[in-house]
């Protein structure tokens, strides 16, 4: 490490930098680096190589122990370790932190060192935050409270944030992460944000391209609006009664609406075979359309229905919202770029499901894991047939898997990820941000082409590797969004992550503040990081300030909601201080019981706070065993204790009820002080009721479009009517063609089955008659004949023929000619889709579909089958044939 550093210093002429190079020095961002970019690039390079090197070290356990038995290795390790610690000490000293990393006598071990590092990181990041605010032009009217040893930064706003006028250097401004004074887009949402402590229920209510119909819960939402049990009964109770009355299956509400379609998705041969990469259009010769009206969106949908692939990306904001907001969607076809305002069209974007779930149109994403969740959560969109270039990059073992690396590698485009963390809520969108956004998708189809070609090349022309990327991408599309759920154990998760050891008082404070933060964040629709960043939460718990002012002093800058509620926070701290002091708590052991499924986490969360645990972090509950005691802070006994020890009035703040004050009027619960113990208890019980059954409620804020669709004055009504008229004729034609194809298929299948039966019989006959010794031996040894027979019988038994290639082609052809005949594009009529075309009629026709088989097991089955060649694929493709949207489709249906 040292050698690298000195080399860098020498390279940059660091040592020679003295007074006579003063002129140069002022032009340079810092010695040796001409601007921030250069510095960041170098820094990141160093970090990456260090991370790589550390990953290459012998692993603890056998390997390491073995190496350690060599004195040379041991000495080397110790030497390197000391150097590293020295380095860290110096950095800490520089920032005025405790820095005795190397002093073994003063530290008991790794844990304490780790704490030191965490503390120092806090200080450094805080300082970064302050500098960023300064650069942003935040005018601090009052002197902030500085931590001990902290030098207030000189006012440098105009120096490094100014566009450099130097001729040679790129004149670029740094875009900062949060813009000031942006109107909260939430206020304009037609459908209120639901931050309640309840599991996420998919937003979908119409399911285009369905093979398996949408569960009744979703399509019936409208008709359940006026239930008898809603009258004059608390909603939770009404839910419960409704559930009892109708016995609706709960699973349906939580499953992935396109699980079945994705499970049965097969990749066409065309997509697995070699194709010539198609060069992207130069970006300045490409039109870029900003879509923020329903009409433009419908037009875009029409265009997308006509292409065979397009690229998609999203931009997201997570700081000033509890669940996060999808702010922008970028789509690129081979010819055009589109930027869609997903804040403006939030309630309308579901119409894109027509193409997003169309298996004959490929959607190319890069690193779509989050995108899948955002699409579901905010827009009710799902993706069927997706290619994720991030998965491809992994399969190809490229040096790095980021989009900017792919852009550089395949397109020689230097992208600039500075805007990634920009505040994407801003409107109108500045030109630079539009440009940034479109580069995220503009080149992606070309990259997709190149990567497919390479994946084939890599595997000597065999499709295996490419297929695995399609499979991985499909698995990404299967991801379900899950809402962060607050449980009485949530705080343990965060505590465990931080590896803090707290005493009983600190722990109690942590628990209280954590719950306060979660509750407030939900209510005000802010991120927990905005309400109270974790490092400040830690600081307060560590110090347990005696005065409210002490709490303020722990926070720098003081978050607005902390300032506003500092007295309440102080009460929590006081309460914690009253608890008998004992040494470090059982927190870490307690939490060992939980083996949460952790999501891979982005740790570079700018102003965003990564501490928020999400639903996925907790043990997964099957819907019927949903925790009833959500939102409670204490266990029964603790609660009892509290009730006797502590002023009950204060406890009002400890519950995390499911409401947003921002949007809704609280029902007379504001005056917590006036509640008796019994009232509190009653309230808790009612609240605990709300969670598991809430989903039966036809939410008071029923999706706007559902009513809009029936409101003749609304645009969507007009459009959907237009679609209806345009598509009825085509639909009928296509239905006819399909029916014919299906009949042909049935006929063919029947014949094939009969023939197979005959062949089998005659084969068995022949075996019986002419069983030679050799055949018997072969049969016995391999048991192979048995296997084959079994397969044949199962095929015949289910009477689900594998559609021959020819047959599918002919069906395809029928549709193609039709497509050609219908000159202009005619979108599919949704208003009928969930009624007869897709659901009941289809599933009846479709003899293969058996809802009882579609349990969670199907996924495992699929994976296991994936390795076996193509048996059983037949019914899958048939399902699609039957269930395919009524627009013609361009590709052969698929074999695995």
Cα–Cα distances (Å) from 554 to 550, 572, 584, 607, 681, in that order, read 6, 15, 22, 18, 34
Q: What's the angle, vertex CA 231, arms to CA 227 and CA 233, rounded to 5?
A: 115
Closest to ligand AMP by CB, 214 vs 434, is 434
Find the shortest distance in angstroms from Cβ 478 to Zn ion: 22
Find the shortest distance in angstroms from Cβ 354 to Mn ion: 22
524 binds Zn ion (CB under 5 A): no
Beta-carbon contacts of 166 under 8 Å, excluding residues fewer than 6 positions away, are 27
Query: Closest Cα to residue 74, out of 54, 58, 51?
Result: 58
Closest to ligand AMP by CB, 121 vs 810, is 121
Work out what residue 888 binds among Mn ion, Zn ion, ligand AMP, none; the CB cut-off runs from 5 to 8 Å by kind. Answer: none
In the structure encoding, which two tokens stand for residue 678, read together? Answer: 């019994």
Question: What is the number of other CB atoms lying within 10 angstroms of the CB of residue 188?
Answer: 10
Query: In which residue are the tokens 């003295």 written?
Result: 18
Stretch of residues binding Zn ion (CB under 5 A), selected from 105-113, 432-440, 497-505, 589-597: 432-440
DSSP string, 200-228: --------TT-SSPPPHHHHTTTGGGS-G
Closest to ligand AMP by CB, 606 vs 631, is 606
**CA gap 795, 890 in Å, rounded:** 28
Closest to ligand AMP by CB, 376 vs 420, is 420
Stretch of residues binding Zn ion (CB under 5 A), selected from 163-171, 312-320, 723-731, 869-877: 312-320
Find the shortest distance in angstroms from Cβ 402 to ligand AMP: 8
Which residues, 827 to 856, sit near Zn ion by CB under 5 A?
Answer: none
390 binds ligand AMP (CB under 6 A): no
812 binds ligand AMP (CB under 6 A): no
- The backbone torsions φ and ψ at residue 30, rounded to the nearest 5 degrees and listed phi first, read -155, 160
Closest to Mn ion by CB, 136 vs 404, is 404
Q: What's the angle, vertex CA 219, arms to CA 218 and CA 221, rounded to 5?
A: 65
What would the x/- binding string for Zn ion be over residues 387 to 426, using CB under 5 A?
----------------------------------------
Tell me, by CB under 6 A, how many residues bind ligand AMP: 13
User: Positive or negative CA dihedral for 544, 545, 548, 550?
Assistant: negative
Find the shortest distance in angstroms from Cβ 295 to ligand AMP: 27
**CA gap 424, 299 in Å, rounded:** 24
Tell me, by CB under 5 A, how many residues bind Zn ion: 2
Stretch of residues binding ligand AMP (CB under 6 A), selected from 343-351, 383-391, 490-498, 603-611: 603-611
Find the shortest distance in angstroms from Cβ 366 to ligand AMP: 7
Query: Closest Cα to residue 136, out of 118, 160, 166?
Result: 160
875 binds ligand AMP (CB under 6 A): no
423 binds ligand AMP (CB under 6 A): no
What would the x/- binding string for ligand AMP be over residues 303 to 322, using CB under 6 A?
----------xxxx------
- Strand (E) or helix (H) holding 312: strand 309-317
Rg (CA), the chain: 31
Find the shortest distance in angstroms from Cβ 128 to ligand AMP: 14
Burial class (CB in 10 A: 0-12, 13-18, 19+), 246: middle
Find the shortest distance in angstroms from Cβ 281 to ligand AMP: 21
783: left (phi over 0), alpha (psi -120 to 50) or beta: left
3-state secondary structure of 693: helix
User: Across-strand partners of 386?
Assistant: 363
Stretch of residues binding Zn ion (CB under 5 A), selected from 220-228, 307-315, 495-503, 791-799: 307-315
Which residues, 316 to 375, sit near ligand AMP by CB under 6 A?
Answer: 316
First to last CA, the chain: 50
**CA gap 152, 173 in Å, rounded:** 24
One of 338, 356, 410, 424 touching ligand AMP (CB under 6 A) = 424
Work out what residue 522 binds among Mn ion, Zn ion, ligand AMP, none; the CB cut-off runs from 5 to 8 Å by kind. Answer: none
Beta-carbon contacts of 20 under 8 Å, excluding residues fewer than 6 positions away, are none
What would the x/- binding string for Zn ion be over residues 332 to 361, using CB under 5 A?
------------------------------
602 binds ligand AMP (CB under 6 A): yes
Stretch of residues binding ligand AMP (CB under 6 A), selected from 420-428, 629-637, 753-761, 852-860: 420-428
By CB under 5 A, name the binding residues for Mn ion: 313
Stretch of residues binding ligand AMP (CB under 6 A), selected from 79-87, 416-424, 562-570, 779-787: 416-424
Stretch of residues binding ligand AMP (CB under 6 A), selected from 290-298, 339-347, 419-427, 727-735: 419-427
Find the shortest distance in angstroms from Cβ 478 to Mn ion: 18
Find the shortest distance in angstroms from Cβ 64 to ligand AMP: 32
Work out what residue 186 binds among Zn ion, Mn ion, ligand AMP, none; the CB cut-off runs from 5 to 8 Å by kind. Answer: none
Closest to ligand AMP by CB, 315 vs 615, is 315
ω before 557 within 30° of 0 (cis)?
A: yes
Beta-carbon contacts of 408 under 8 Å, excluding residues fewer than 6 positions away, are 414, 415
Work out what residue 424 binds among ligand AMP, Zn ion, Mn ion, none; the CB cut-off runs from 5 to 8 Å by kind. Answer: ligand AMP
Find the shortest distance in angstroms from Cβ 314 to Mn ion: 6
**CA gap 118, 532 in Å, rounded:** 17
Closest to ligand AMP by CB, 331 vs 421, is 421
387 binds ligand AMP (CB under 6 A): no
Query: Closest Cα to residue 237, out of 690, 751, 667, 846?
Result: 690
What would the x/- binding string for ligand AMP be over residues 438 to 457, using CB under 6 A?
--x-----------------
H helices of 207-322, in order, are 216-219, 235-246, 251-254, 259-263, 269-272, 294-306
Stretch of residues binding ligand AMP (CB under 6 A), selected from 89-97, 604-612, 638-646, 679-687: 604-612
13: left (phi over 0), alpha (psi -120 to 50) or beta: left
DSSP class of residue 164 equals P
Closest to ligand AMP by CB, 440 vs 886, is 440
Find the shortest distance in angstroms from Cβ 399 to Zn ion: 21
313 binds Zn ion (CB under 5 A): yes
Q: For the stretch 729-760, what's the b/e string if a residue is b when 16 or more beta carbons lie within 10 angstroms of its beta carbon? A: ebbebbeebbeebbeebeebbeebbeeeeeee
440 binds Zn ion (CB under 5 A): yes
One of 148, 187, 231, 604 touching ligand AMP (CB under 6 A) = 604
**CA gap 829, 885 in Å, rounded:** 10
408 binds ligand AMP (CB under 6 A): no
Closest to ligand AMP by CB, 423 vs 617, is 423
3-state secondary structure of 599: coil
621 binds ligand AMP (CB under 6 A): no
DSSP strand pairing (362-365 vs 386-388) = parallel
Which residues, 705 to 764, sit near Zn ion by CB under 5 A?
Answer: none
Closest to Mn ion by CB, 379 vs 508, is 379
List residues near ligand AMP by CB under 6 A.
Answer: 313-316, 420-421, 424, 440, 602, 604-606, 608
Question: Which positions lie near Zn ion, rule CB under 5 A?
Answer: 313, 440
């Amino acid at each position: 490490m040292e050698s690298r550093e000195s080399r860098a210093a020498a390279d940059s002429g660091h040592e020679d930098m003295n007074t006579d190079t003063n002129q140069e020095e002022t032009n340079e961002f810092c010695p040796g680096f001409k601007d921030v970019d250069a510095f960041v690039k170098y820094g990141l390079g160093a970090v990456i190589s260090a991370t790589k090197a550390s990953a290459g070290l012998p692993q603890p356990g056998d390997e390491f122990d073995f190496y350690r038995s060599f004195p040379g290795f041991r000495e080397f390790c110790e030497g390197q370790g000391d150097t590293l610690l020295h380095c860290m000490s110096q950095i800490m000293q520089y920032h005025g932190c405790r820095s005795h990393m190397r002093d073994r006598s003063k530290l008991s071990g790794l844990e304490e060192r780790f704490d030191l590092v965490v503390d120092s990181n806090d200080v450094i990041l805080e300082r970064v935050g302050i500098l960023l605010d300064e650069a942003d032009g935040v005018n601090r009217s009052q002197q902030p409270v500085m931590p001990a040893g902290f030098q207030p930064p000189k006012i440098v706003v105009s120096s490094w944030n100014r566009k450099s006028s130097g001729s040679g250097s790129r004149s670029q401004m740094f875009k900062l992460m949060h813009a000031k004074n942006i109107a909260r887009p939430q206020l304009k949402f037609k459908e209120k944000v639901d931050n309640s402590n309840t599991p996420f229920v998919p937003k979908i209510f119409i399911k285009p391209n369905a093979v398996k119909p949408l569960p009744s819960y979703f399509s019936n939402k409208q008709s359940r609006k006026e239930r008898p049990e809603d009258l004059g009964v608390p909603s939770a109770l009404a839910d419960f009664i409704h559930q009892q009355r109708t016995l609706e299956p709960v699973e349906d509400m939580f499953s992935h609406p396109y699980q079945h379609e994705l499970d049965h998705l097969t990749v066409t041969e065309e997509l697995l075979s070699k194709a010539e990469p198609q060069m992207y259009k130069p970006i300045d010769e490409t039109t870029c359309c900003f879509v923020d009206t329903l009409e433009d969106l419908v037009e875009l949908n029409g265009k997308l229905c006509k292409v065979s692939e397009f690229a998609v990306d999203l931009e997201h904001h997570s700081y000033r919202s509890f669940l996060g907001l999808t702010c922008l969607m970028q789509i690129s076809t081979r010819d055009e770029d589109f930027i869609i305002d997903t804040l403006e069209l939030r309630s309308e974007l579901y119409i894109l499901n027509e193409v997003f779930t169309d298996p004959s149109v490929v959607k190319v994403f890069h690193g779509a894991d989050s995108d899948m969740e955002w699409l579901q959560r905010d827009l009710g969109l799902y993706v069927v047939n997706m290619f994720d270039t991030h998965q491809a990059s992994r399969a190809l073992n490229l040096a790095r898997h980021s989009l900017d690396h792919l852009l550089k590698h395949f397109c020689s485009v230097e992208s600039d990820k500075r805007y990634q963390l920009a505040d994407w809520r801003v409107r109108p969108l500045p030109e630079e941000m539009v440009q940034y956004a479109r580069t995220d998708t503009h080149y992606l189809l070309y990259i997709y082409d190149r990567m497919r070609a390479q994946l084939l090349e890599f595997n000597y022309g065999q499709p295996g590797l490419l297929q695995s990327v399609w499979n991985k991408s499909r698995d990404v599309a299967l991801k379900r969004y899950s809402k962060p759920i607050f449980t009485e154990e949530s705080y343990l998760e965060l505590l465990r992550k931080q590896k803090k050891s707290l005493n009983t008082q600190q722990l109690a404070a942590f628990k209280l503040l954590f719950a306060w933060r979660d509750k407030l964040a939900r209510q005000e629709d802010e991120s927990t990081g905005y309400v109270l960043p974790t490092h400040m939460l830690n600081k307060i718990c560590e110090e347990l300030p005696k005065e409210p002012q002490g709490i303020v002093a722990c926070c720098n800058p003081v978050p607005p909601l902390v300032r506003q509620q500092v007295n309440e926070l102080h009460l929590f701290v006081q309460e914690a201080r009253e608890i008998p002091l004992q040494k470090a708590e059982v927190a870490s052991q307690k939490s060992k019981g939980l083996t949460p499924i952790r999501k891979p986490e982005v740790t570079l969360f700018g102003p965003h706070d990564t501490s928020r645990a999400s639903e996925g972090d907790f043990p997964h509950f099957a819907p019927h065993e949903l925790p009833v005691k959500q939102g409670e802070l204490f266990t029964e006994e603790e609660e009892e204790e509290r009730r006797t020890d502590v002023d009950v009035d204060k406890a009002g703040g400890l519950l995390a009820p499911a409401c947003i004050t921002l949007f809704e009027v609280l029902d007379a619960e504001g005056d917590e002080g006036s509640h008796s113990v019994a009232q509190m208890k009653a309230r808790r019980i009612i609240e605990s009721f709300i969670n598991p059954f809430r989903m039966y409620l036809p939410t008071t804020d029923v999706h706007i479009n559902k009513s809009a669709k029936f409101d003749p004055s609304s645009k969507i009504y007009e459009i959907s009517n237009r679609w209806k008229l345009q598509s009825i004729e085509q639909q009928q034609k296509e239905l006819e063609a399909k029916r014919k194809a299906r009949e042909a298929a049935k006929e063919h299948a029947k014949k094939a089955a009969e023939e197979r039966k005959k062949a089998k019989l005659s084969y068995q006959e022949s075996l019986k008659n002419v069983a030679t010794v050799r055949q018997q031996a072969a049969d016995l040894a391999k048991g192979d004949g048995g296997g084959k027979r079994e397969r044949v019988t199962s095929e015949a038994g289910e009477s689900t023929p594998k559609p021959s290639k020819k047959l599918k082609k002919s069906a395809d052809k029928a549709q193609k000619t039709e497509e050609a005949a219908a000159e202009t594009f005619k979108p599919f009529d949704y208003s009928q889709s969930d009624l007869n075309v897709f659901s009941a009629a289809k599933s009846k026709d479709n003899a293969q579909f058996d809802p009882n088989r579609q349990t969670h097991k199907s996924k495992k089955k699929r994976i296991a089958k994936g390795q076996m060649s193509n048996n059983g694929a037949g019914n899958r493709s048939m399902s699609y044939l039957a269930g395919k949207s009524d627009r013609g489709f361009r590709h052969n249906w698929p074999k695995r």
